[in-house]
């Protein structure tokens, strides 16, 4: 396999930023990256079906999916809301098992993770489908597509591990669309990768049921959750989802003890209300603690919300100050390269301990997870050591 430099990977990976701080759209054929890396992958035409891990059988060959709170009841020959699972003869099968429609190597900061192995790379993959229908989705071409609508390639866990080892990549990221809807594939890959010494992180909307979440976290190293608003009306009208299950997921992640970070995309006129942001930050402090990083990210007009302007930087600064006022230690500003809100500050001595420009770490003043200036422990995963929330 050809060896590529970190500089080459980053050149490809950071081209274009957007709503979710992750993009595969700069490739004419996203999965062509796999063939470029020589992992022996092949175009997926039909192929192997895998029975889903979480569903129950009903009468008349119907099933009820138990992976996410939608709990779709699916008749024989039909699919659920996400469109990538199908009831065949009373059994529920994934149509995207070991298949990917997008594959990139990204800086881990692009997910964004700021307190998980800073300065490293992640092999980022996705299959089509989502259990939300967000009007502002950057990656709607894959999240709102069925498997037959866009090209997929086969990618086995062993092939993903080979790519990571040959390029010295420590992490596989399940991202871009919604990993919950390709749960079985993600679970098996993360489990295999863990035994091979490769970490796994999930970038998710958090709309997952409790038992699948707990089982999955046994195989993951970190999770990043979209907290799209603190308004259930926003979730229902803009995302076709619900707020309460997402909050439940966040509380469970805290209980489980896995590292997690939160992103809140701030959209002008829709979820930038100061009172809602105050309630959100107060809830995070009370239920998750002060050390959970929260990334206030800048919206850019996209998909069905192209009539709205980009988020004013002052609005993001207001959100960050609101988080500080609520007692949160690590609020960030995202999608504004060069802003001081990209940096990690020691909450004790107030000095910069990780300095960033965009997705690049330009200075790291942590020593074994502590501030080198005042020796305050900083919560995060720094190498093999996790300083817990």
Q: Walk me through the domains of the chain, giving residue ranges and CATH numbers.
A: 6-40+99-387 (3.20.20.70), 50-94 (no CATH)
pLDDT, mean of residues 359-388: 91
- pLDDT at position 344, please? 99
pLDDT at 388 over 80: no
d(CA 59, CA 234): 35
Three-state DSSP state, 371: strand
pLDDT, mean of residues 212-234: 99
Share of the chain above pLDDT 90, in %: 86
pLDDT at 14 over 80: no
pLDDT at 378 over 60: yes
63 confidence band (pLDDT: 50, 70, 90): very high
d(CA 303, CA 136): 6
Taking the alpha carbons at both ends of the chain, their separation in whole angstroms is 40
- pLDDT at position 44, please? 52
pLDDT at 8 over 70: no
Instruction: Please return the burial class of 308, using the count of CB atoms within 10 Å of its CB with bins 0-12, 13-18 and 19+.
Output: middle
- pLDDT at position 389, please? 58
Share of the chain above pLDDT 70, in %: 87
Q: Are 90 and 63 in contact (CB under 8 A)?
A: yes
- In this structure, how many other beta carbons lie within 10 angstroms of the beta carbon of residue 347? 18
d(CA 299, CA 271): 11
pLDDT, mean of residues 343-355: 98
pLDDT, mean of residues 63-86: 98
pLDDT, mean of residues 240-252: 99
- pLDDT at position 3, please? 42
- pLDDT at position 181, please? 98
- pLDDT at position 91, please? 98
31 confidence band (pLDDT: 50, 70, 90): very low
> DSSP 3-state helix, strand, coil percentages of the chain (rounded to 5)?
30, 25, 50
pLDDT at 15 over 70: no
Cα separation values, 94 from 69, 218, 293, 382, Å: 18, 21, 33, 35
- In this structure, how many other beta carbons lie within 10 angstroms of the beta carbon of residue 36? 14
Q: Work out whether strand 222-226 and strand 199-204 pair parallel, antiparallel, or are unpaired.
A: parallel
pLDDT at 146 over 70: yes
Average pLDDT, the chain: 90
- pLDDT at position 387, please? 72
- pLDDT at position 23, please? 35
pLDDT at 144 over 60: yes
160-215 pLDDT, tens digit each: 999 999 999 999 999 999 999 999 999 999 999 999 999 999 999 999 999 999 99
The two tokens of residue 182 are 């390709």
pLDDT at 9 over 60: no
- pLDDT at position 142, please? 97
288-320 pLDDT, tens digit each: 999 999 999 999 999 999 999 999 999 999 999
- pLDDT at position 32, please? 43
């Amino acid at each position: 396999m050809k060896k590529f430099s970190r500089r080459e990977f980053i050149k490809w990976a950071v081209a274009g930023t957007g709503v979710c701080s992750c993009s595969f759209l700069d490739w004419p054929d996203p999965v062509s990256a796999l063939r470029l890396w020589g992992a022996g992958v092949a175009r997926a035409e039909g192929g192997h079906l895998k029975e889903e891990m979480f569903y129950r059988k009903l009468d008349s060959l119907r099933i009820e999916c138990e992976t996410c709170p939608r709990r779709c009841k699916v008749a024989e020959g039909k699919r659920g809301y996400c469109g990538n699972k199908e009831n065949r003869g009373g059994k529920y099968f994934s149509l995207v098992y070991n298949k990917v429609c997008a594959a990139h190597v990204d800086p881990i900061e692009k997910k964004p993770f700021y307190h998980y192995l800073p300065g490293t790379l992640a092999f980022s993959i996705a299959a089509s489908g989502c259990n939300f229908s967000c009007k502002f989705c950057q990656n709607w071409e894959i999240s709102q597509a069925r498997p037959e609508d866009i090209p997929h390639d086969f990618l086995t866990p062993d092939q993903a591990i080979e790519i990571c080892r040959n390029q010295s990549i420590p992490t596989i990221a399940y991202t871009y669309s919604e990993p919950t809807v390709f749960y079985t594939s993600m679970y098996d890959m993360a489990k295999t990768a863990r035994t091979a010494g490769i970490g796994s992180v999930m970038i998710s909307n958090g709309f997952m049921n409790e038992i699948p979440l707990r089982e999955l976290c046994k195989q993951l190293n970190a999770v990043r959750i979209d907290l799209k608003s603190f308004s259930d009306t926003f979730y229902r009208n803009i995302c076709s989802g619900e707020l309460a299950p997402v909050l439940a997921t966040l509380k469970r992640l805290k209980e489980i003890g896995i590292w997690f970070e939160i992103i809140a995309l701030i959209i002008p006129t829709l979820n930038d209300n100061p009172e809602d942001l105050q309630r959100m930050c107060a809830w995070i402090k009370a239920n998750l603690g002060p050390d959970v990083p929260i990334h206030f990210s800048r919206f850019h007009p996209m998909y069905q919300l192209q009539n709205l302007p980009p988020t004013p930087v002052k609005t993001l600064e207001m959100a960050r100050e609101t988080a500080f006022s609520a007692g949160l230690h690590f609020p960030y500003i995202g999608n504004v390269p060069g802003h001081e809100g990209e940096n990690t500050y020691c909450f004790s001595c107030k000095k910069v301990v990780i300095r960033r420009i965009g997705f690049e770490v330009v200075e790291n003043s942590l020593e074994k997870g502590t501030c080198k200036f005042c020796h305050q422990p900083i919560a995060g995963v720094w190498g093999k050591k996790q300083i817990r929330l």
